[in-house]
Structure 1
Amino acid sequence: MFANLIGRPKAELDTPSLTVDLDAFEQNVDKAAAFLASKNKQWRPHAKCHKSPVIAHRLLRAGAIGVTCAKVSEAEVFAQAGIRDILIANAIVGSQKLERVASLTHWADPVIVVDHFVQAEALAAMCRKRGTTCRVILEVNIGMNRVGIRPGTDTRELAQGVAKLPGIRLVGIMGYEGHLLALSDPEEKAHKIRNAIAILEETRDTMLQDGIECSLVSAGGTGSIEITSECAAPTELQSGAVIFADPFYSERCGLVGYTPALRLIATVVSRGKLERGILDAGRKTLHPDTHPSKLIGTVEGRPLNDAVIASLNAEHGILELGPQSQDLRIGDKVEIIPGYCDFTMILHRALFGIRGGLVETVWPIPGRGCLQ
């Protein structure tokens, strides 16, 4: 439905439209892949930031080993697109979901996270019923205090029990240091992340001493990519949003050396007051949580240095305009860097790839809305 837009100037896109600067995106992808390879870490980027098999395949070509996702329905989207190595970094509970996981093993090679024997036992029983086997890993609570088995004796006993279940194969562990990504003091952040990842190292060593496989140790967020990659234990990092490098990661998490790649194009639809402009993009287009979005200028490249996004309503964005920006007219189009890609991508059906100011490609986002 968007084929007629290929080759057209980005200014001709109907609004609101989410776009990606292809040069910045590709530089980010290649830089992250090369960096992790230099640290002898595999890359299994989390797909929550893009929800797109097209992008996942681009990351695979750069060196990623597979994808991470949160839901069975997301895994199905990527498996249907030919991606086999899929980590579902979430506990799967309920017979319908377990049936789908068992079916998924016939055309992909998923890894399922568990943090309780009840979850593992149910998955193993379903796999036996369907005549298949599924890889599993244990999620260890390394300080996030959301999910994950308590490290130490509890984890050891769970590993021993899960390893004995026919129908599943325990292959490793994971942990997420997400509670530490936005620490402002670099030394404190590095120290606490290293301590958190050390819990995974101790867990791995205990499992190996017990004769239990632990060939996969998964960790890492975009906001901790440099620190976690220096830790010995992880075999792979899930850092995914580095490909877009949105302001949350650069301004809150200290990510450096990557270029923000996403842009939201919106139109000025009302100018009721000299110091105010109203956009056709609100909360249904840009999610206000986690980190504010940044107005960068018009699509023609004119900066709007004294204009800010003051607030977002359902359908509208309210701009506060300083003296240099008060000549904005109804019909002018502006560009915005979304503050946090994970909460933005799910609001859109397609991502428009821009190079040299022209629409080069249009990528569908079939993973949006995959909640089960």
Structure 2
Amino acid sequence: MNYKEIDTPALLIDETVLNKNIKYMSNYAKEQNVKLRPHTKTHKMPHLAMEQVRNGAEGITVAKVGEAEIMAIYGLDDIFIANQIVGKQKLERIKKLAEQINISFGVDSVHHIEEIDEVFQGADKKAQVLIEIEVGEERSGIIEEVDYKLLLNSIRASKNVELKGIFSHDGHTYKAVDKDDCLDLFMTATTRTLHFANVARDMDFEVETISIGSTPPFMFGFDIPEGITEIRPGTYILMDGSQSNAIDSYAHSAASVLTTVISKPTAERVITDVGAKGLTAQSRSKGLTTTEGFGKIKEFEGVHIHGVFDEHAIIYNREFSNNVNIGDKISIIPNHICPVSNLYHKAYIVNDGEVVKEIEIAAQGKLQ
């Protein structure tokens, strides 16, 4: 059927652009001589994860144990959870997964090692962990070298934990003021990550994996310094308004939300049937990824969502209003695709206006 026959709101994915994005990052990783481990929290769809692996990805990254469990059910067998996992309940689930697939996960505290060591007592193989290094995003991760060395010594003393490598996330590149600033932030973060890898080697640890990741530097095609073994971009596969603004092009925007015009109360106000519950109320206010409003109307240049209620999108634009009628369907490119994917049960793959496949968003809501 034609995509405009789909009931709304609905998540659409342009197949041609999707394939272009998958191939771009796969080729980039090969050219840079690094492994590609895409972050599937962006789409939460095993079908797309398998496509990424079929196109050269070494394995996948997820954010939560629940996501890892779903991906494993669908046949993904090399998974990294790029997050600190706390609590015996979750660690028991990872221990069970480790019996079937290659799985690793993040740590940044001696507390983590002590808890993991206890849970993995008697396991057939040791827990595989990567230490997170904080590189400027001001989120989780090791900051001080002294704490890092204490953590390494804790791993050395553990009977059931094995160091696989280190990882970092330069998410603050989203706020870079321009391409040169993005490169500077990227290089600073990467240099810091490599330094911590060398500290581990100086303490006689084997560091198999040195993993970095965020989409902007890789969409710019920056050269990756020698020593990095793996990249973990996520958003690149679908893109969104903020990432498109960073590269000053919407040519990579594969995802959009189809919505119906349901009301035109004034000459310039238009209401559609998707709100915060189907689009989110997210925006970005700094740097290259700065967004206008709460989403961009795909079919009309310069028209954005002015505001969102739970179930309504509000647009103020007289020219746009003159060109649409109640019942018309339009597409919105969301500001941030990752939380939007988590709001839908399925996505529609569209090629040349026709729906070619419906894909289950099987990891939707898997936040535990």
RMSD over aligned CA atoms reads: 1.8
Partner of 2:47: 54
d(CA) in 1 for partners of 2:355, 2:345: 16
The residue aligned with 2:357 is 361
Partner of 1:3: none
How far apart are 1:17 and its partner, in Å?
Answer: 0.8
Q: Show the counterpart of 1:31.
A: 24
Contact 1:307 1:325 in 2 (8 A): no
Asked if 1:234 corresponds to 2:236, the answer is no
Structure 1 residues not aligned, in runs of 5+: 1-7, 298-303
Q: For 1:371 and 1:114, how far apart are their aligned partners in 2? A: 18
Offset, 1:324? 5.5
Matches within 5 A, 1:183-202: 183-202=176-195
Which of residues 151, 154, 164 is equivalent to 1:158? 151
Letter aligned with residue 15 of structure 1: T
TM-score (norm 2): 0.92
1:274 match: secondary structure:
coil
The one of 205, 209, 217 aligned to 2:202: 209
Q: Which residue of 2 aligns with 1:244?
A: 238
Q: Structure 1 residues 80, 183: closer, same or farther in 2, change over 3 A?
A: same
Whether contact under 8 Å (2:40, 2:49) holds in the other structure is: yes
- Report the CA distance between 1:283 and its aligned residue: 0.6
Does structure 1 retain, via aligned residues, the 8 Å contact 2:41–2:63?
Answer: yes
In the comparison of the two structures, how many residue pairs are matched?
Answer: 358
**Aligned equivalent of 2:346, options 327, 347, 350:** 350
Residue in structure 2 matching 1:328, options 302, 308, 324: 324
Q: Residue type matched to 2:226 in 1?
A: A
Partners in 1 of 2:303 and 2:200 — Cα distance?
56
1:96 corresponds to which of 89, 101, 104: 89
Residue aligning to 2:295: 293
Secondary structure of the structure 1 residue equivalent to 2:180: helix
Q: Deviations over 1:313-354 (max 9, x none)?
A: 110111223235414211111111112111211111101000
Q: Corresponding residue for 2:288?
A: none
Output the CA distance in 1 between the equivalents of 2:250 and 2:328.
32
Deviating beyond 6 angstroms after TM superposition, the runs of 4 or more aligned structure 1 residues are none
3-state DSSP class of the match of 2:325? coil
* Structure 2 letter corresponding to 1:238: R
d(CA) in 1 for partners of 2:148, 2:122: 27
Equivalent-residue separation in structure 1 for 2:141 and 2:361 (angstroms):
30
2:367 to 359, 365, 371: 371
Match of 1:20 among 13, 23, 32: 13
Q: Normalised by the size of structure 1, how large is the TM-score?
A: 0.92
In 2, Cα distance between equivalents of 1:306 and 1:25? 24
Q: Which residue of 2 aligns with 1:173?
A: 166
- Structure 1 Cα separation of the partners of residues 264 and 320 of structure 2: 15
Q: What amino acid does structure 1 have at the position aligned with 2:108?
A: D
Alignment match, 1:300: none
SS of 1:163's equivalent in the other structure is helix
- Return the offset for 1:296: 2.1
In structure 1, C-alpha distance between the alignment counterparts of 2:328 and 2:2, rounded to whole Å: 15
Deviation at 1:151, TM superposition (A): 4.1
Deviation string, structure 1 residues 135-189 (Cα, Å, up to 9, x no partner): 1111111222211112423212311321331222111101111123321132232
Using the alignment, how far apart are the partners of 1:180 and 1:319 within structure 2? 30
Equivalent residue letter for 1:213: E
One-letter code of the match for 1:336? I
Give structure 2 stretches of 5+ with no counterpart. Answer: 284-290
